[in-house]
Homo-oligomer: A and B are copies of this chain.
């Protein structure tokens, strides 16, 4: 039924070792025999069994990447960066979706490890004790991608979320806004949630503006939660003149809510966020946002992982990529 390396060997009149060599591009094969083997492979339709190969060689040339939420375009972009570099180094990548559930994250990490991936890229939210536990028992390198662990023990590549938020809010402040609301992510999420919230607070503080928890709401990163939060702000007696959303999608929800209330962006309320996903230009007015270099985060983390897998020594295990603000039309000045 299934044709094995042995069949090919017989067909080509060589030993299976030789077939193995040509399949693995080992140079120590005479061109003539190499050709014979290729022909036999072709004739028989031989397809190497990666499972057997993995068992024998103890390498699978595949890296597992766990995606928190496949329907989030941010991660899609990061994945593109990962893939491009992976291809470059001849690694296969297998994606596993974790549905933003911690329990599922742990599960896929373990499945991936059981499948003997040569390395693991973890994009996700919080890195808990349980995660670290799972990572510790892995005997392959792991790098965190678009997230970090609190202790900074695990190699990672990410932006400085606190600073990104600080800059976003700073932009609003420098435009004259003094009553700035925030639509935050969950505070349990260290990167997209907590850190961005901290950046918001620090920016306020540095500008001598009061912090008022009346104008911060916690959303779940989705569009709908952005409109919900904004609905609340819009009805406030002392309505904010600007809002900082932790993510693009919530920002877009906020913009639409503002418009649905008969107000205008940015004339009545300015909106800014962190992310700069493709969606940022898919709204009217187009969204001003602090951009995180998604593709690069993916590419750099994959590159780091290849080094780790080859046991090359790396200088810095945790790399922080720069962010920048991209100005579009959702932020205005305060003139009243």
Contact = CB atoms under 8 A, between A and B. Distances in A.
Contact of A50 (B2, B73, B92, B116): B116
B92 A95 contact: no
A110 B50 CA distance: 11
A51 interface: yes
Interface string A95-134: 1110100000000001101111000000000000000000
A124 to B, nearest CB: 16
Interface stretch (A76-84, A179-187, A301-309, A319-327): A76-84
Given A252-B282, A256-B282, A282-B256, A71 B71 contact: no
A52 B55 contact: yes
Nearest to A256: B284
Nearest to A249: B282
Contacts of A92: 96, 111, 115
Contact of A97 (B95, B96, B113): B95
A259 B284 contact: yes
A252 B114 CA distance: 43
A223 B284 CA distance: 13
Contacts of A147: none
Contacts of A176: none
Interface string A60-102: 1010000000110100110110010000000011111101000
Contact of A54 (B51, B223, B252, B278): B51
A126 to B, nearest CB: 22
A93 B107 CA distance: 12
A256 B287 CA distance: 14
Given A49-B114, A73-B71, A113-B47, A223 B278 contact: yes
A76 B83 CA distance: 17
A137 interface: yes
Contact of A55 (B51, B110, B137): B51
A210 interface: no
A45 interface: yes
A188 interface: no
A1 interface: yes
Contacts of A48: 114
A92 B49 CA distance: 19
Contacts of A252: 282
29 contacts: A47-B110, A47-B113, A47-B114, A48-B114, A49-B55, A50-B114, A50-B115, A51-B51, A51-B54, A51-B60, A52-B55, A55-B55, A62-B115, A70-B76, A70-B80, A70-B95, A71-B73, A71-B76, A71-B80, A73-B73, A80-B97, A92-B115, A93-B96, A94-B94, A94-B96, A95-B95, A223-B281, A223-B282, A279-B282
Given A49-B116, A259-B284, 14 more contacts: A2-B139, A47-B113, A50-B111, A51-B60, A51-B116, A70-B76, A70-B79, A70-B80, A79-B97, A83-B97, A92-B96, A95-B97, A260-B284, A283-B283
